[in-house]
Structure 1
C-alpha cells in the first residue's frame, strides 16, 4: 500500500497577491500623480509601491535581527492589506473604482511610503 503525501492544488486555489512576483509591465519613471486620481494612474502607483515593498522584503529576509523581523512583519502586513483592498475594492477594473476605494488606496500609498524610509531617517 502506498500513500501519496502530496496534494494536488485545488482547482479554485489562487496564489496570494501579496507574495506574487511584481507585474511584468513597468510604470514609467518620474510620472507623478495628483492626489485623488483613479484609474490607470492609481493602478501604476499601486503596482510600483507593491514592487518596492516586495524588494524591501527581499532585502530584509537575510537579516536575522529582531528589528528586521519586525520590519518584515510590517511589510507583509502592508502587502496583505493591499491584497485585501484590491480583492474587494477593484471588482470591475481600475477604471471603475469608486471614491471610497480610491481614498483607501491613496491612504495605503501614504502609509506604505513610511515603510520604505530607513528607520534612522524617520521623524
Structure 2
C-alpha cells in the first residue's frame, strides 16, 4: 500500500508511471539511461540494484565452483591430468639420466644437478 500512497502523491514522473526511463545518449558502445524516480523510491531502487549485483556475483561464484567440481569428476579431465603428469615425470627422468650419464667432472665428490625444467611445456 506504500506504493499506492506514492503513486497518488505528486510525482515528478508522468501521472501513469511510478518511474520513467529515458535513453539520453550513446557514445563509444555505451548507452546513457536516465531514471526519474520519486524521492521516497531512491533508496529502494539503489538497494534493488545492489542486491541484483550481489545476486549476479553469487551466481558467478556458483558457476565457477560447479565448473571446478565437474572437472574433478570428468574422466576426460582426469585422463588429461594423468597424461600431463606422466609426460612431466618422463621429461624430468630423461634429463636426470642425461645428467648422470655425463659423469662427474674431475675433483667433484657429488653431483649438483642444474636441471632447468619448465613444467608448463609438458602440459
Q: Name whichever structure is richer in strand by fraction.
A: 2
User: What is the TM-score of this pair, normalised by structure 2?
Assistant: 0.28
User: What is the TM-score of this pair, normalised by structure 1?
Assistant: 0.28
Give the structure, 1 or 2, with the largest relative contact order (CA under 8 Å, sep 6 or more).
1
Whichever of the two has the greater Rg, that structure is 2
